Structures are given as structure tokens and as C-alpha cells.
Amino acid sequence: MRIREMAEDDIDAVATLRVRSWQYAYAGLMPQAYLDALSPDRDAGRRRALFARTRGVITNLVAEDDAGHVTGWAALGPYRPDDGPPPGGAADGELYALYLLPERVGTGTGLALMGAVLGRAERVGYARLLLWVVEGNTRARRFYARAGWTPDGARATHEVDGAAVPEVRYVHGLHRVPEQRPRGDAYSRGVPSAPQARPRLR
């Protein structure tokens, strides 16, 4: 397995992965008709525009297997403050998304991707990293707890196809270090600037 920065050529694979992951992780937590209607092609179009618009602001990482197939994806960048200020101030970052192919859950892919996310966030210099997770997604919440994340008490509710979906916020403390550019480091390019608008549910 290898973790690397996402390229434009990965967008179709990431869109397929994201749709499959939503249909797997959110069954029973979001309207089934909404999940069934998710389209990798439509998601790829939206993601292609987002990818081009947020270069240098949002970092996208992918995990790939030995055959070069994308098996996981994560995105991080500046905290988006529309739900109030983060607990550590303006220097905090946010993990916007971390998804795996359903068959890769429990294989260590998620932990490897999380390690790369935290390493990148430290090198950028974030004081903390925050994320929002669907409250009823107990599998994801157990994973984040194992990876050192803790809920900070913040809550929000988003509407998905007419249904209220509650979320809770988690925080992970980081060791702030200067941005570094060692030779061969795939994660040292670009320091995020201004946050981008939600939707938070990516």
C-alpha cells in the first residue's frame, strides 16, 4: 500500500470510492432513496471542479494498493468556521473527508491514511485538526477514537433529502512544526490559505 497526493487522473476512482463508501457507511443514517441515487459520474464532475478550484488550499491524499488501484481518500485544509470558531483558534485545520472502499475497512488502510493526514497537518503547522462525523456512525466514531480523536461537545444538524442528520465534532491535538520540504516528500507542497465554503458532508 502507498499513500500519495491525489492527481486529477484519480478523480473518477475517488468519486466511485466516495459513492460506494456513503452507500455502505450511511445505510440507515440517511434516506435510502438518496443513497441509491448517488452517481459516481455526477460526483466526478463536481469533484473535478472542486479539485481545480481548491489547488493549494485543500490537500487530497489517496491510498493505493500494490496494483495501483485507489482504495482510500482523505481531504484536509483550513477549518471552515460557519459553525463557530474552532477551539484552538484560526490556526486549526479540518479533516473534511476520509473514505475507504467498503472491502478495505478493517485492513489498516484507514489507519495508514490517517497517519498521513496527521503528518501533513503537522508539517503545515496546524495547532489542531477538527472533523465532523455523523452522530450515528458508530463504526467511524470508534475508528477516530482509536486514532486519538476526542469529541469536543460541538454539534450540528444538516438536512439530507429532507431528513435531519446530526453530526458531532472531534478534535485531535498536533505538534506544530515548520513546513518542511525534504527531498522526495510527497506531502510538503503548498500551505493552505483561505477556507472554502461547505457543504461539510463531502
What confidence tens digit (pLDDT) does each residue in 8-59 have? 999 999 999 999 999 999 999 999 999 999 999 999 999 999 999 998 889 9
In percent, how much of the chain has pLDDT > 70? 81
The three grid cell numbers given for residue 39, joined into one nine-digit string: 452517481
Q: Give, in order, the Cα–Cα distances in Å from 49 to each of 15, 35, 97.
A: 12, 22, 17
In percent, how much of the chain has pLDDT > 90? 76
> 46-95, pLDDT tens digit by residue?
999 999 999 888 999 999 999 999 999 999 999 987 655 555 555 899 99
Task: Report whether 12 contacts 70 (CB < 8 A).
Answer: no
Residue-wise over 139-163: b if at least 16 C-beta within 10 A, else e? ebbebbeebebeeeebeeeeebeee
Rounded distance, CA 48 to CA 10, Å? 10
The three grid cell numbers given for residue 169, joined into one nine-digit string: 465534532
The three grid cell numbers given for residue 153, joined into one nine-digit string: 461537545
**Sheet bearing 70-78, strands edge to edge:** 2-5, 59-64, 70-78, 93-100, 128-134, 163-173, 150-160
pTM of the predicted structure, to 2 decimals: 0.83
CB atoms within 10 A of CB 115: 12
**Strand partners for 157:** 166
The three grid cell numbers given for residue 54, joined into one nine-digit string: 481548491
